[in-house]
Every structure is written in C-alpha cells, then in structure tokens.
Structure 1
Amino acid sequence: MNSINSFQEHVDMKFQLYNGLFLNLPFEDVRTSGLLLPVFTQYAKQELEKGAAPKEIVLQFFRERLGIEDEQVIVDDLFRFMRLVERQVVLFDALEDAAFSQIHDIQGPGCVKDVLNRIEREERIEDYEAFINDYRVRIVLTAHPTQFYTDEVLTILTDLAKSLESNDIRSINELLLQMGQTRFKNREKPTPLEEAEGLMWILEHVMYQVVPDIHQRLVTRVCRDTEAAIRLPGRIELGFWPGGDRDGNPYVTSDLTKEVGELLRSSIIQLYLHDVRSLRRRLTFPGVIELMDSIEERLEHTLYPFSRVPKKASDGTFCVELEDRGYRSSQELVEDLLTIRKLVNQEHRGLFVDRVERLICTVQSFGFHFATLDIRQDSRVHGDFMETAMKIIGKNGITGHEDYLSLGETERFTLLENTIQDMRSLPREQRLSLGREITSELADHDNQILKDILGSVEALEEIQSRNGEIGCHRYIISNTQSAANVLEVMVIALLGGLDTQNLPLDIVPLFETIDDLHAAQSVMEQLYTAPVYTSHLINRRENQTIMLGFSDGTKDGGYVAANWEIYQAKERLTLVSKNKGYRVQFFDGRGGPPARGGGNTHKFYRSLGPEIDSRAIQLTIQGQTISSLYGTPESATYNLEQIVSAGIENNLFPGDYSTMSTSERGDLQELSIAAREAYLELRNHPSFVPYLEQMTPLQYYGKTNIGSRPAKRKSNRSLRLEDLRAIPFVGAWSQMKQNVPGFYGFGRALNVLSTPERTQAFQRLYQGNLFFRTLVENSMQSLSKSYFALTRYHREDPQFGEFWNLLNDEAERTMKKLLAISGQTSLLETDPSIRQSIALRENLILPSQVIQQYALTRLRELEKNQGMAGHSNHPVKETTIPNQETFEKLVIKSMAASINASRNAV
C-alpha cells in the first residue's frame, strides 16, 4: 500500500470515525459546538473566497443561521468552537503518531539498516569502520517557546496514540473524556526549571530507548571487531539548552544551571539502576550475580554520593566518617559491565549477553550526563561585562583598559590576547579573587545578568566534576561579530578559575546575520593564527565547533539568501579550517518551519557537497518539533536514523548526487542576490514593522505562557526588528497564514532570471541537485500553509492595503515559478501524504484563524474608539461589544490551535 492510501486509511478515515465519537461525548458544549463547527467552517471558507472579512463572516453567521445578535453570546460560542478545535488537533496528532509506521517507509531509504546493507553490498566495511570511529550526530533539545501543549495534554496525546494503534475503543473513549475536561493552557509562564523538567520526559521515555538501539546497530552490525566496537562512545549525542541558554532570558541563573545539571545526572543514574536490577533477575550465575550486586550498590552510592560509615579509632572508640563509594566516572561502570560480559561469554554460554551489551551501549551513549548542557549568552552582554572587568584587571597589574567598549575590533583583540597571556601565569585563587572583585563592582549596577556571568563558569565546573566533562563543555556566543568576541569568553573562563593550561571548554561562535556569515571566515582565520587561541585548540583535539543560525539569517536576508549564504559559509569555513590544520564541526540552529531551517532535514544534510565537512552533524530541535519528530520511539527512530544516515552516505557515497558546476553556482549566486534584494525591499518598507505590530498577533506571544523567555531581547523600548526574536517573528506570519519568511523573494528572483535559458538551467538544477531541490520543496511547504484569502480584507485598509498586495503578489508569483521549475502541477505533488496531512490540518484550524482575525479587528476598533474618545467632547456610545481583555483571550486561544496543528509553524 502506498503512503497516500495508508494515510487515508489510517489517519483520514479514522479521524472521521473517532471525531464522531468525540462529538457524542456527554458534554453539552461539545455536542452543540460539534453540530455548528462544520457548518461554520464551510460557511467561512465560502465567504473568504468571495472576499468577505472575518468580522462580517462571524457576525453574519450567528445572525443569519442562529438569530443571535448579542456579541457577548457570540464570543462565548467562539470560545467553545476553539476548545473543540484544540481537541480535534490532539486527536489528529495522535492518529498520525499511531499510524507512523504505516505512513512512513521505516525500513526504506535513509534508515540505518538500508545504509548498512549498502555498505556490505558495496564492500565498504573497512572504510565504514574508519569513518564510524570519528562520526558524531548531536541532537540538541531547546526550550524555545513553540509548544502550546501542556504536559498534561502531551501525556494524553501519547496515551491516546498507543490506544489508537491497538484500536482499544474503551481506552480511546476514556482518554477522549479526559481530554474534554483537561485545561489546554498553562496558568502561568513556565520557569526555566519547569521547561527542563518537561523535556526530561522525552529523554527518559523516548531517547533512552532509541539512542542506544541505533548506536548498537551502528557499531556492531558490520564492524568486524565486536570487542572494539562495543567500547566506542555513543555515536549519537544529546544536547540540552534549558537551564543553560541565557541569551535573552534573565531567569536562567548559575544556580539554575547547577540544578538542571544535577537533574540530568540523577535521572540517568536512576534509569541505570532500574536496568541493572532488571538484568540481575536474569544473571543469577555464580561469580556474576556478586558483580551485579556490587554494580547496583555502587550506582546507589553514585546517586547519593556520601554515606556515613562507622570507623574504629586506634584508641578503640568509634566515629562516623563520610565515605564516597560510588563510581567516579561512567567509564568505570562500563569496565564492570565488560567484565560481566566476558564472564558470561566464557563461563555461562553467552546467556543473556545481548542484554549486557545493550546496557553497555546505553552507558556509552549517556555517561553520567544524559545530555550535554550548553551555556549560551549574547556577545553584547560579554562586552558590557568586559567594560567593567578590564578596569579592575588593569588596576591589579594585568593588561587592562579603562574604556574597553571605545576600542576598535583590532585593538580589542590585541588587548585580549595580552590579557589572556598575563592571566595564564596567575594562580587559580588570584584569578578567582579578581573575579570576585569584578562581580562586587557589578553589584552596584543592579544588573543580575552581568553579575551572574562568572557564576555560569562556576556552574560549568561543578557539573563537569559530577557529570563528566562532556556534561557541560560548550559556551555558545550568540551574535558573534568578531574574533574578540571569542577571546572575551576565554578571559571570562580564566576569571572563573578554569584551568589555564588545559581549558576544559569548547568556545562556539554563532554567526547569524548575512553580514556575520560573510565575516565568519576572516574571524576564524584571525583566531586560527592567534597563539593564545591555537594553543587552546590543540588541547581540544584540534576541533572547532561553529554554530550557524538559520532563523536570524532568514529574518535578516530572506529565505533563499540565508540558505545559500550558510551553504557557502560552511564551504569557506571547512577550507580555512583544513588549511590551518583544524577540523570544523558545524552546529546548525534550526527551527521547525523552512523559514527557520526546518522542513526535510534528511534531504538538507544529504545535500551537503564534498566541500563541507559533515563528519559531525549537530542541530537544535525545539518546541512542538520535539514532540512531533521525537515524541514516540517509532518517530524518533525514523527521524534520528534519517539524520545519521545522511552523514554516512555523504562521506562514503559522495557521488550519489551531482555537485554544482561553476555555472550552476553562478546561477544560485545571482538568484540569492536577487532574492535578498527583493526581501530587503520588503523589510525596509515603512509598513513592515507597523504591519507586524498592528495587524498580526505578534504582541500576544508574550502572553501565551508557553515559554520563560521574553519575545524580544530588550523589552523596555519600542519594537525594533533586530530585537525581535525569530520565533515570534516567523510565528506572527504563520498565524496570519502568510508565511512570508519561507518564500518571499524566491518568486521575484526567479522572475528576474526568467530567460528561457535560465529557466531551463534551474529546471535541470532542480532535477540534478539535492540542495536546490530541497530549497524549492521546503519553500513549497511554507506556501502550502499559506492562505491569503484569510487576510484579503487587508487590501482595503488605507494604511496597509498596498503592503498586503505586495505579500499576496509575491506568494502567487513564487508558487507559479516553483511549480514551473519543479514540473509539478500542484504544491508538494511528489509527496502526497504530506500534502494531504497539511490540507486536513489547515481545514481543522480554519475556524480558529477566522476567529483570530475577527478578534484582532475588534481590538483595533476598540483602540481606535478609545483614541477618538480621548479627543472628543462627546461620550462614546455604549455597545454590547465585549471588552478588550475578552478579545485578547480570544486571540491567544486561537494561536495555540494554529501552532499545534501546523507542528512546524514556528
């Protein structure tokens, strides 16, 4: 059965069946809304196509169909509609999760089994063994606010998917009843700790099962030396940002970082204890069971490090001493398990040795850290810290400066080099004393973020001592614009007391804007030739991790330019690193939608050419993308394997896809330039920011209670695009069903280059080059989730009508051009199951989108009336229109359904 037939049978038809069951639950509101909602949806769709405005659609529907004039009654019914839509989306999500293995070819191209079969078939085992020793994939879970489901709803979704998979009608009915009475919105914003605790569910219930399984197959399936293979550390690593990501989040402190580090450590050791106790029930053999008891006891002492042990003194009296009898490192645990494996193989006929090997692979995958906690902060914060630090440092006989921020980049870099050289000769306690003096000086500034800078170093050191160095070894610098930004972190690390000769820290510059991507090569060249930094890199095994941000790149330069510039930046950075004798590892800051680097991830990584180092693949996963791609063992296995296999195929079978010729690269360069010019013309339009602020639900992102981090970096001033975070920026366009960041400029650029010869060249490029094909198809996803009829009434707006026309015209132009380039007659024609899934989801949330536009219109009217009342001698006529707070709640309620249904909307 092909994927579209499977989708129709296991998702579409079942949704109609179980939705009918849900609508017949014993809730009066559900029954009434269930009868009205489909009628409202059809009515709204017809009227939108006629050009009607959502406000008129809503009021006319209730007046003409139900005879209701009182707008407060209407609003009450609209809330009921949206409560039903929210729950229908959960049902649809659960059905797709339950049918995952039927819809996707889990044993097909891109799976580990398929690629290992190919390695054996083409006799590349020796090459694979050499490659797998050096290969890593790191999936980094972030707490970026794109998940509207509460923990309670996620639990229902998970359980419902299991019941749907087994067709357990009784359980399904009970879960639908539970869902009908469960709150769908957080009462308050989650704290960073609560965000971390929420993501622990994915680690404990999904990743703990899936990651070791894939790792074991990767290292044992084709490798000839099983003993050496099983000793390999995990090929799939997990990263973790909640509790470590400080960028723009004032609620993340050093104390919180320590707490999250301990949460990760205690969680993984408890899971090991459970598995050891389970394994002990089988390994009851003489000589083995005693070792199992010892392992269990040592793990218990590792979880609770110190025990009180009575000791007899020389005079015969007893005293109590604290004794640490736990494992000092996860490698000690691995060695004990290897001893058991050897005994079982040699003396007990290998009985249950597969379970021992599985536990070894699990410990190799997660150590005592479970996931690596990254520290991240903005370079501008470091600059403010250094302004004070350099004054204090200079007063203590070390190279410093009275006015650090006034220096040029070259002067700063030289100053920092000299400061690092001086500080390397200082003993730890003297550097810590300097740090305390700086922190004390900053206390007068009443800036908690700056005061906590050195605290993050202390937290990192404490986590390393308990979880192992891998537990917290990276410091990511957002908004990296110069080589000095990297050396600033080295100074901070030394002031925090870290080892001067062997700094246990990987410093990761994050290049985000187009200009920063252009400057990245020169920044790294400067670092690669600076003795203070090269000596550090030698101690870090000559590896340099560089992070590249898709989200801010798109916000800055548009979809096409961001993708092409990142591709070229990777090529340049690979070359300069190789020429200087270093290995670069790229870490991609990717979001859910194509506008933030999402879309088809496997195709993207498979499309990297031979000029880009792909021996390590690292990327962020966030919000509802975590639950949609990694929320079940089946989907997590499939999506992880797709990424893992992409790197293997790139390196072992580079000839699968054609590389770009010089002329093709020239075409893409011209396309990128033209697309960026078109996007910048839009971004610089005087209505761009006002439209976002006044016509979209952007301002309500901060009121949704889905994340601890503010929507913009500096909340004490009026909206500026550079302060606006990429998530609300992309999300605002998504809520409007316009998805501008995922396509704008693409159509204009193709139109500029629309000679017959160029058109044919792009058609050939689409057919023969996976990078360009992925660029096109991911943009098609953005367009397939766009619906300009929803906001067509904006074209009549005196302030924004012309601006709306620009957006609509480019959407139509881009769709037409992409279809011509791809040879398709409709968007996503080559992936019908995704196309149908999107269509059904968009139909589900159409009512909430119409309601959102109605509420936004009413809010603008209320604001206008209030302004008129303030300049009039006549009182405003009283109406039955609900108040502002009610309409704001309506907007916020509508946002949740839209994002959850789109899954990769932000």
Structure 2
Amino acid sequence: MERLEAFQEHVSMKFQLYNGLLLHMPFPEVRESGMLLPLFSSACKQGMESGEPPQQIVRSFLGHATGADNSAQPGAAAGDLDDSDIDPLFSLLRLIERQVVLFDSLEDAGFTRIHDMKGPGTLQDLLNRIERKDKTQAYREFLDSYAVRVVLTAHPTQFYTDEVLTILTDLADSVEQNELRNVHDYLLQLAQTRFKNPQKPTPLEEAHSLMWILEHVMYRVIPEIHARMVDALNVDHARRLEYPGKILLGFWPGGDRDGNPYVTADLTEQVAELLRTAILRLYLQDFLQIRRRLTFTSVVDDMERIQRRLEAAVQGCGAFVGEYEAYDTPEELRADLLQVYQAVMQENGGLFSDRVAGLIYKVQCFGFHFASLDVRQDSSIHERVWGRLLPLLQDAGVAETSAPYAELAEPDRVAVLGRICEQLQGVEPERRKQWCRSWADAIEQDDDHVAADVLRSLAAIRVIQNRNGEHGAHRYIISNTQSDSHVLEVLALSLLSGIASGEIPLDVVPLFETIEDLHNADAVMRRLYAHPLYREHLRSRGDDQTIMLGFSDGTKDGGYLTANWEIYRAKERLTDLGRQQNIRVAFFDGRGGPPARGGGNTHKFYRSLGREIDSSSIQLTIQGQTITSMYGMPAAASYNLEQIVSAGIENNLFVTDYMQLSDEDRSLLDELSRRARAAYRRLRDNPVFVKYLEKMTPLTYYGRTNIGSRPVKRGGTSELSLSDLRAIPFVGGWSQSKLNVPGYYGFGTALRELEAEGRLDELQRLCAGNLFFRTIIENSMQSLTKANFRLTAAHSQDPVFGDFWRGLKQEAEQTRKLLIAITGQGDLLDTDPVIRASIEMRESMILPSLVIQQFALSEIRQLPEDHPLRPRLEKLVVKSLAIGVNASRNSV
C-alpha cells in the first residue's frame, strides 16, 4: 500500500495540478481545446458506458460544439462533414499527446518514491543476501563468467521526437525538484513543440537518437553497477579493476538490415565510427576533470601523455598530437590509467584514486566500441546470395555442383558449403577479398543491392574490428533460421570476405522464431555441433554459442501461451545439448515491450527459468518507447538493469524447488499449450483474421508514421499476408483497437477446457508453486487490463466481422475470469496495484484519442477512395497512433 500511496501522491495528485496548467496555456488553440477536452472526455466515457459507437459519440459532440446538426443520424455518411468539423479533433489530439508527456514526466520524477530501490530484485538486496548466506566464494566463481547484454534496437515504436524527449527529461527533473516556474515554462514549450518528424528518419538518424541514451544514461549507470558487483567480491582492489564489463551493450541501428534496405555496409561503418568517437570523447571529458585534481609530481608526466594520446585517439586511428600517438586499444589506455592509480595509491595516500578507478571501470565496460554493433539479415537473403555466388565460385575453380543452389536439397547444400569452405581456406586472404569486392560490384550492377550488401557487410565487420576492437562488431544474427545450411552459409561468407582461415572473429547467431523452428532448434544445433568445420569454429570462439529466440514471431505463429512455453522448452533442450557437448550456450531473447512480444516483468521472467536453462548469460533486446520508459533516466535505468542482473545471479546461487517444474507440471503445461495453440491457430487460419486487421484496425497506417526507417512488412508485394507482416504492426493493430488479441487468445480456451474437466485445482496449484507459470499469467493480465471491447462494440453488428469480433470478446472474458480464479485475486493485477493504477489513468487519458481513431476509421470505410475528406481523416488516424503507443509505453 505504501507504493500505491506514493503513486497517488507523486503522480495522480500532481497530474491533476499540472494538467490544469496545461489545459489553460495562453494560446488560443490550447485555450479552446483545453475547455473542450474535459467535456469530450466525459462524453466518451458516458458514450462507451451506454453503448454508443465512436462514430456517434464524435458526431454528437461535434454537433454540440459547433452548433451544427451533423449528429442526428449516427450512421450518416462522412460526406456531410468538412474540414471545419475535423479541425477541432486534431486540436484535441495535440492536447492529449501533451498530457501523455506530462504523465510520463511525473512517473519518471516519482520513480524512486514509487519503486523500492533497495528491495527485492535490486543489486543491494542481492548482495546483502549473498553475505547473509555466506555465498561470497560461490558469487566470485560465478561472476568470472557472468554477463548481461542489453541490446538497443531501432524498431519503430518510439513516436517522441528528440526535442520532445528532451522536454520530457527536463520536465521530470523540475517536477522532482518542485521547481514550479520551470514546470510552467516547460509546459509552455511543450505546447509549442512539434511532435511529429517531418519525414522518416534515416538509419543514421536513428543511431544518433539512441546515442543520447548511451551518452547520458548508460555511460553513467553501467559502470556504477559494475563497480558495486565487483566491489562485493572482497578481493584486492587492483584485481577488481581487471574485471571485464559485466553489463554489455548491443546496438542494432546501422547493423540490423533484416527487411531494411536502407541499412548498408557504408552506414554500418559510419555508425561504428560514431560509437567509437562518442566513447573516446566521454573518456577525454572525464579525464580532463580528473587531471584538475591529480596535480601531483608523481603522475604529472603520465597525465600529460594520457591526455595527448586520448586527444589523438578522438581524431582517429593512427593520429598524432605532437609526439604522442593515438591509443590503438582500450588495453593500452587501461594500462596507463592503472599506472597512475598505483602511483597515487603508493605516493599520494590514494587521494582522488576513486576517480581514476571510476574511469578504469568505464574503459572495462565500454572499450573503444561503446556498444557492439550486431549485423542481422534474413536467411532467405543469404540463400539468394549463394544462388549468385555459386556460378562465380565454379568459374574460379572453388565450387563444383551440377545444380543451381536453390535446387539443392538440404544435405547437398551442407556438403557443397563444406567443400567450399575447405577450398577457400587454401586461397590467399587478399585474393578472397578481391573476389568479394568484384563479385559484390557485379551483383550490384544487376540491381540486387541487398545481396551485394551482404558481401560488403562482412568486409565492414573486418574494418570495424580493426578500428574499434573485436567487440565493435562480432555477431552475425540470422533471422528465420530453419536449417544447418543457414548457419554454414554465413560462415562460408565470412571466409570469402578474406578472414584468415581458422581465425574467424565472428559469432554466428541463429534466430529461431516460429513454433516449428523452435521445435527443430536442438536438432539443427546438434548437427552443427557435429559438423567438423563448425565445431572447429566454435573452439576458436571459446566453445561459446549464442542462440537467439524470437518471442514476437513465435506469438504471431502459435499464440501467447505456446510461444512462451515452447521457448522455455527449446532453451531446456538446447542447454542440455550444450552441456553434453561441453559448449556454453547463451540465450539472446528478442523481447519487445508488451507481453505479446515477450515483455512484462523482466526480473520474474528470468528468475523463473530454473536450473535446467543456462542463465550464466542473459541477453535481450530493448526497443522503441520501452528504451525511453525503462532506460531514459539514470534511476530507472539503474533499477531495471539491476533487475536483470540479479535474476541471473539468483538463478545460479539460490536455486530452489520453488522454480522447478515437476513431471506433472510439465505434462499440464504441455496440455495447456497444445489446447491454446489449437484455439489460436483456428483463429489465425480464419480467412477473416487478416482481413479484420486490415479493414477494421489501424494496422495499415503504421507505414505512414515517420518513426522508423524500416518498412512495416517484409517482401515487396502489395497484398497483405500474415507471414510478411512484421510483429510491431501486427501487435499494434490489435492494441490500438484495445483488443490485445496476441496477449491472451487461446490461453482462455485452454483454461476453460481444463476447468470443464474439473481440473481447476491443478491450475491453482501450478500457479501457487511455480514462478514461470505465474509470470505468464500476470503478464497476460496486463494485456487484458488494457483491453476495452466497448471501443469496437459496433463491430459485433458488422455482416462480415460480427461473429469474429464476438469470438474475441468471449475469449477475453473467459480468460479474465479464469485468471482471477486461478490466482485467487479479486481483480486483474491485484498483486501490483501501482501498475494497475498507472494503466487505468493512462487508459482513461487516451480514451478520447481512441474514440477519435475509431470514428475516423468508420468514416473512411464509408467513403470512396477519391473523396476529398479522406486524406484528412487518414491523417487523424495516423496522429492518434502515437498517443496510444506513448501512453501505454509498452503497447507495441
């Protein structure tokens, strides 16, 4: 209750206060819409409760607001409206989106009061527990190999512009400090600031945008957590300074070319240089502050040398400042800083040594790369590349096959790739590089830019590693991995790019996404481990294998419950296989913001994995507005990173029966998953499924938002298909309509069937005794809490989609009822009233924008394609998309 009271005091009450300021800003448009919005919000709530459709609510309100009589007929055609009717709706949306920024700022400002910064899941609580249980030695042994990798992606779910994000941050700071004048001024600024990018950002601009988080938050927070982790080891301080970073950063802008034709090899190199220059400038900035204090004779010459070499490094590799050459590696910089540290300790009583140690920790965490650029491409593109390369390699006397690559069966592909690798190893690296360059040019001339970029991207990785170190770019992720050949294709390409034989400094990361691919993952990896070429490669990489698992496409393919359970089972099988082969497996989770894409409570998710899944390395993607909400300010970033870090340590140091699944538990989850998947697949295979998304939700409008460089669907066909559709618009279409289908559908059917068999008590025991199952339930509760079927109730009468919509509603209602019964809660999220209160406030705030969105969609469906009002209504839909995403913070 203390957390709920803190939320009410620092968020709810302050929102009422500051919202009053916002609604009465001294601008004509704001003043007018500020008077209308409370009235319209009330009309929306009353209309929803009485069963009025959004089209009628808006038309009625417009009639009252303007004095017109366009509301008399709820089903009137849109043609009787004009621009003067639509303009007030845009004004209301602009005000609502600013209310969301205010609310975000208030939650950020109250973060440390709402959250227990030393409670369960935090590093302090964990370290105290380690000390109490006398597990320091076990902790020391485990920490040697433990690391967390947080990967920032450029997936298009962040609608705030950089200018708005800056205001949000400054506003939160002023609220926290109770600086009323600044709050007032920032609200004035907010009222006059554009929220929409005038055009889609380029991948380079996306990288620049995320750099703010790296430079202003991660650079400060990660080394502090790292220092606390290693300080708890009770070893000599010099030894602590040797520990490599325990929290690693990954970066996808500029490297993720899966479905994004605008990411090129040149751009990848540009982003890598951006990262390198940024971290070196930060080191130099910190060092200059330290030099102001370390004026001691014992270190003055060393300080001069370090400064000049850092200045040269900022200018570029091989540069000089005077007689001093740029640092080539972070190890050189660390060695010089350690020398200064030791001199200060020995000759100056350790004065200001903590500042030197702090910079050493940063160098250990970030090197000269800041964040590792992951290169990612779809397996189908690699197949296309090999279709082009095979004839060229045959002409060069390297490959022998009588059939085109596309016609080769899987065993034949594996055999051909193996022979090619063996023969390439006998070719001089420079000759291979020349082949790679000339063949990329030839493919480019045939207008296959994507295939040509694959060859150039491998060359770019070599360049980046020479400049930034191996950690600058050392992973190649293969989307849609389905077979052994998909992995061997990339390995062979790396050899072709000119990398020395047997020394491929590249981790090839298969990404298994669909339910079938998850089922086959261990079989694929077993064959790869047995392949002499790949096994030798793994030995050169320290017998470490990273495997990525995609929640988004797993959910789209098999439904919420099945995706979670099949990923869990796949991890168990892959862990067991790795242990048999003496291979250390690291799982990289492709998690999005909402439960439908693997989101939800991160600590509980990773804490629930148990001993059968390797958690000595935790890796996950963070994307879109989730980056801002969870890592946009130091306090939130520290808290959320600690939740991830502590989960892996607890799993390995405090293994209890509480997290283990018995054979009976597994059998029950298998049965639930089977039934849930069958129900979801019946829905997904219904011909109405994709048509409903396309016609009745704003899915098709995501491509018109200027928030990301990547297209919303794979493939170049105009026809919408589920297989080509990206997970973000797929989940987004459902969440914008407040149906949230991917977060629960099928789960309720499975539960109902077991309840009908008198087995509710089995489910209750499983929930009470296993954290994994309870986490699945609680995350699904979040999806249901955000659902609002009243918004689209009119769809129940649609001649095409009526039965379909009623089926969705029935599934949501039965899921809600049974989740409450299984958990014993009085209502959804009773165990976390703060989350529920936040969701309720946000949903209430954005209800008017959702009503406007549904109104516009309804009107558009009645208009011919060439009607002059249609573009304005479509802009209304696009404008409303941002509000729903930003308000939910993890809605897409």
- What TM bracket, shorter-length normalisation? over 0.9
**Contact preservation (8 Å) 2:659, 2:772:** no
| Mapped partners of 1:690, 1:330: distance in 2 | 55
Give the match for residue 425 of structure 2: 424
Give the match for residue 886 of structure 2: 900
Partner residue of 1:890 out of 870, 876, 880: 876
The Cα offsets for residues 144-178 of structure 1, whole Å up to 9 and x where unpaired, read as 00000000000000000000000101111110000
| Mapped partners of 1:444, 1:331: distance in 2 | 43
Give the match for residue 368 of structure 1: 368
| Mapped partners of 1:324, 1:551: distance in 2 | 50
Whether 1:159 and 2:170 are equivalent positions in the alignment is yes
**Contact preservation (8 Å) 1:25, 1:31:** yes
| Mapped partners of 1:100, 1:424: distance in 2 | 56
The Cα offsets for residues 14-49 of structure 1, whole Å up to 9 and x where unpaired, read as 000000011121012212211221121121122122
SS at match of 1:420: helix
**Contact preservation (8 Å) 1:85, 1:844:** yes
Worse overlay, 58-67 or 196-205: 58-67
| Mapped partners of 2:255, 2:571: distance in 1 | 26
Q: Counterparts in 2 of 1:385-784, with a 5 A limit? A: 385-401=385-401, 402-655=403-656, 657-755=658-756, 758-784=759-785
Partner residue of 1:127 out of 134, 138, 149: 138
Measure how far apart 1:309 and its partner are. 7.7
**Contact preservation (8 Å) 2:440, 2:456:** no
SS at match of 2:10: helix
TM-score by length of 2: 0.97
SS at match of 2:248: strand
SS at match of 1:222: coil
Whether 1:269 and 2:269 are equivalent positions in the alignment is no
Instruction: Give, as a single letter, the amino acid of the residue that structure 2 aligns with 1:559.
Output: Y
| Mapped partners of 1:293, 1:668: distance in 2 | 64
**Contact preservation (8 Å) 2:298, 2:347:** no
Instruction: Give, as a single letter, the amino acid of the residue that structure 2 aligns with 1:175.
Output: Y
| Mapped partners of 1:121, 1:94: distance in 2 | 38
Whether 1:305 and 2:316 are equivalent positions in the alignment is yes
Measure how far apart 1:65 and its partner are. 5.4
SS at match of 1:68: coil
Which residues of structure 2 form unaligned runs of 5+? 70-80
Measure how far apart 1:675 and its partner are. 0.4
**Contact preservation (8 Å) 1:142, 1:242:** yes
**Contact preservation (8 Å) 1:220, 1:230:** no
The Cα offsets for residues 720-770 of structure 1, whole Å up to 9 and x where unpaired, read as 100000001001101100110011001001011115652111111111111
Give the match for residue 287 of structure 1: 298
TM-score by length of 1: 0.96
Instruction: Give, as a single letter, the amino acid of the residue that structure 2 aligns with 1:102.
Output: R
Measure how far apart 1:807 and its partner are. 0.8
| Mapped partners of 1:89, 1:277: distance in 2 | 40
Change (3 A) 1:164 1:805: same
Instruction: Give, as a single letter, the amino acid of the residue that structure 1 aligns with 2:98.
Output: R
Measure how far apart 1:287 and its partner are. 1.8
Give percent identity, aligned residues only.
56
**Contact preservation (8 Å) 1:143, 1:195:** yes
Measure how far apart 1:308 and its partner are. 8.1
SS at match of 2:127: helix
| Mapped partners of 1:717, 1:421: distance in 2 | 42
Whether 1:278 and 2:289 are equivalent positions in the alignment is yes
Change (3 A) 1:134 1:5: same
| Mapped partners of 1:345, 1:100: distance in 2 | 38
SS at match of 1:237: strand
Give the match for residue 111 of structure 1: 122
Measure how far apart 1:437 and its partner are. 4.0
| Mapped partners of 1:194, 1:223: distance in 2 | 44
Q: How many residues align?
A: 880
Change (3 A) 1:757 1:891: same
The Cα offsets for residues 93-129 of structure 1, whole Å up to 9 and x where unpaired, read as 0000000000000110111111111111111111111
Give the match for residue 39 of structure 2: 39
SS at match of 1:493: helix
Partner residue of 2:249 out of 238, 241, 263: 238
**Contact preservation (8 Å) 1:135, 1:615:** yes
| Mapped partners of 2:472, 2:428: distance in 1 | 25
| Mapped partners of 1:44, 1:400: distance in 2 | 70
**Contact preservation (8 Å) 2:734, 2:741:** yes
The Cα offsets for residues 607-649 of structure 1, whole Å up to 9 and x where unpaired, read as 0010000000000000000000000000000000000000000
Instruction: Give, as a single letter, the amino acid of the residue that structure 2 aligns with 1:15.
Output: F
The Cα offsets for residues 469-503 of structure 1, whole Å up to 9 and x where unpaired, read as 00100000000000100000011111111122210
**Contact preservation (8 Å) 2:319, 2:325:** no
SS at match of 1:501: coil
Change (3 A) 1:452 1:308: closer
- State the Cα RMSD in Å: 1.4
| Mapped partners of 2:759, 2:62: distance in 1 | 53
Give the match for residue 50 of structure 2: 50
Change (3 A) 1:807 1:472: same
Measure how far apart 1:717 and its partner are. 3.1
Give the match for residue 313 of structure 1: none
Partner residue of 1:168 out of 179, 183, 186: 179
| Mapped partners of 2:234, 2:731: distance in 1 | 45
Instruction: Give, as a single letter, the amino acid of the residue that structure 2 aligns with 1:128.
Output: Y
**Contact preservation (8 Å) 2:860, 2:870:** yes
**Contact preservation (8 Å) 1:54, 1:853:** yes
The Cα offsets for residues 241-291 of structure 1, whole Å up to 9 and x where unpaired, read as 000000000000000000000000000000000000000011111121221
Give the match for residue 223 of structure 1: 234
Instruction: Give, as a single letter, the amino acid of the residue that structure 2 aligns with 1:160.
Output: L
Change (3 A) 1:39 1:309: closer
Whether 1:185 and 2:196 are equivalent positions in the alignment is yes
**Contact preservation (8 Å) 2:320, 2:326:** no
Change (3 A) 1:418 1:309: closer
| Mapped partners of 1:182, 1:389: distance in 2 | 51
**Contact preservation (8 Å) 1:766, 1:773:** yes
Measure how far apart 1:419 and its partner are. 1.1
| Mapped partners of 1:440, 1:282: distance in 2 | 55
Worse overlay, 770-779 or 282-291: 282-291
Instruction: Give, as a single letter, the amino acid of the residue that structure 2 aligns with 1:380.
Output: S
Instruction: Give, as a single letter, the amino acid of the residue that structure 2 aligns with 1:888.
Output: E
Instruction: Give, as a single letter, the amino acid of the residue that structure 1 aligns with 2:14.
Output: K
The Cα offsets for residues 813-866 of structure 1, whole Å up to 9 and x where unpaired, read as 1101111111112110110010000000001100000000010011111138x6
SS at match of 1:657: helix
Change (3 A) 1:423 1:308: closer
| Mapped partners of 2:808, 2:621: distance in 1 | 30
| Mapped partners of 1:22, 1:444: distance in 2 | 56
**Contact preservation (8 Å) 1:307, 1:323:** no
The Cα offsets for residues 655-707 of structure 1, whole Å up to 9 and x where unpaired, read as 17231110111000000010000000000011001111111111110100000
Whether 1:807 and 2:808 are equivalent positions in the alignment is yes
Give the match for residue 877 of structure 1: none
| Mapped partners of 2:246, 2:399: distance in 1 | 43
Instruction: Give, as a single letter, the amino acid of the residue that structure 1 aligns with 2:379.
Output: S
| Mapped partners of 1:843, 1:708: distance in 2 | 31
Measure how far apart 1:73 and its partner are. 2.3
| Mapped partners of 1:540, 1:223: distance in 2 | 31
Measure how far apart 1:411 and its partner are. 1.1
